[in-house]
Amino acid sequence: MKLVRFGERGAEKPGLVDGNGVLRDLSAHVADIGGAALTANGLAAIAAIPEESLPVVSDPRRFGPCVAGTGKFICVGLNYADHAAETGAAIPEEPILFMKATSAITGPDDNVIIPRGSQKTDWEVELGVVIGDEARYVSEAEAMQHVAGYCLINDVSERAFQAERGGQWTKGKSADSFGPIGPWMVTRDEIADPQDLAMWLSVDGIVRQNGSTRTMIFGVAFLVHYISQFMSLQPGDIISTGTPPGVGLGMKPPLFLRAGQRIRLGIEGLGEQSQLTVDAA
C-alpha cells in the first residue's frame, strides 16, 4: 500500500493511493497515518478495506508529511561507503547516530527554508524507515517485523551549523523544513529489497546525486536492531538511513544552496519530491 496525508498544513487527512494511482480518502476509517495505524494489526485493517469503497480525492491541493505524530527522527551519518570516501572520513565501525528535531518535518513539496545566517545549506537524498510495531532489544533476524514501511527523505543540512558551531550535528540538521518526508509511505511488503534501490537528487535540473542503497554500510535490518539496543522504537518513529555521494559539501569546490533554487529527488518505488528554496523570514 501507498499511504499518504493530504490537505493544508495542520489539517491533513489520511489517504491511500490505489493500484491505479488514484488518491482515496481514508479518514472514515483511521484518524491519521500514525500510531496504531502503523502497527501490523493497523496496516492489516487498512489493507482489508475495499479500495473501490473509498471516496476519490480529485484535488488534494497538497501532500503533507506521510507519517503523523513522529516521536523520534533518528539519522545515521556516513552510512554509505562512497559518501564517506567523498568526505574523506573513515568507514564507521558502528552506526553514527544523531537526532533531527521533529519540528523539521514537512511535506514533500513544501519550500525548504534556508535559515538566517546560513552559508552552507546542503541536500541529502535518503531512504527513510518507518517503525510499525514497537522495537526494543530486537535481533537483526527479527528487526524487519518492526518496520511498517519506507519513505523518501531529503535530509537537508546546514554544514557550518553542523560542524563549525560546537560539533553537534543535530543543530545543523533541525531547522524548520529540513525534513521533507513523502510523498507516501510504501508498506514493507511492496519493497522486495530495501538494499537495492536506485536514488537520485538534482538541483536546478543538474543531477548531483545518483546512487543506490546497495552501498549502505549498515543495512535496514541491522540499523533497526542496533538502534533498539539504545532506545525503544515506537510506531511512527523514522530512521533516516544516510546518503550516497554527491552532496554539496563533497564537491570541489563545495557548492551550497541559495534561495530560488529547485531541488528534485526520488527513490525507486518511493516516489519523488520537489522543493523550492527560500530565505527565512
Please write the tens of the pLDDT for every residue from 14-49.
Answer: 999 999 999 999 999 999 999 999 999 999 999 999
Check if the beta carbon of residue 160 is closer than 8 Å to that of residue 118: yes
Percent of the chain, pLDDT > 90?
A: 93
Query: What value does the mean pLDDT take over residues 173-184?
Result: 98
Beta strand spans in 87-181 (E):
96-99, 105-106, 112-114, 121-122, 125-131, 147-154, 157-158, 179-180
Assess whether pLDDT exceeds 90 at residue 98: yes
- Lowest average pLDDT, out of 17-26, 160-169, 259-268, goes to 160-169
114 touches 122 (CB < 8 A):
no
This model's pTM is above 0.85: yes
Q: Which residues, 6+ apart, have CB-to-CB distance to 101 below 8 Å?
A: 73, 170, 173, 174
Q: Residue 253's pLDDT band (boundaries 50, 70, 90)?
A: very high
Residue 43 φ then ψ, to 5°: -65, -35
Domains of the chain with bracketed CATH: 2-53 (no CATH), 73-279 (3.90.850.10)
Contact 182, 66 (CB under 8 A): yes
73-82, 171-180, 189-198, 234-243: segment of lowest average pLDDT: 73-82
For residue 201, give every residue at least 6 positions away whose Cβ sits within 8 Å of its Cβ, in sequence order, or none.
Answer: 123, 124, 125, 154, 207, 208, 209, 246, 263, 264, 265, 266
For residue 163, the model assigns a pLDDT of: 83
Question: What is the pLDDT at residue 166?
Answer: 84
In the predicted model, is pLDDT for residue 168 greater than 90?
Answer: no
Across 262-279, average pLDDT: 98
Is a pLDDT exceeding 80 seen at residue 87?
Answer: no
pLDDT score recorded for residue 183: 98
Q: Dihedral sign, CA of 270, 193, 232, 39?
A: positive
Task: Specify the residue for cell string 539496543.
Answer: 229
8 neighbors 62 (Cβ within 8 angstroms): yes
- Collapsing DSSP states into helix, strand and coil, what is residue 251? coil
Cell of 239: 530512521
Q: Residue 23 phi/psi, 5° resolution?
A: -80, 130
Question: Which value, in Å, is the radius of gyration of the alpha carbons in the chain?
Answer: 18
What average pLDDT does the segment 175-190 reach?
98
Q: Are 73 and 103 in contact (CB under 8 A)?
A: no
- What does the mean pLDDT of the chain come to? 96
Q: Which three cell numbers stand for residue 157?
A: 543540512
Give residue 106's pLDDT.
98
Span 37-66, mean pLDDT? Answer: 97
At 22 the pLDDT is: 97
pLDDT of amino acid 139: 98
For residue 89, pLDDT over 90 is answered with: no
The helix/strand/coil state of 102 is: helix
Amino acid at 77: G
Q: What is the CB neighbour count within 10 angstroms for residue 194?
A: 22
**C-beta separation of 3 from 54 below 8 A:** no
Provide the pLDDT confidence category of residue 259 given band limits of 50, 70 and 90.
very high
d(CA 89, CA 96): 12
84 band by pLDDT with thresholds 50, 70 and 90:
confident
Cα–Cα separations (whole angstroms), residue 73 to 173, 211, 238: 11, 23, 5
Residue range 160-173: mean pLDDT, rounded: 88
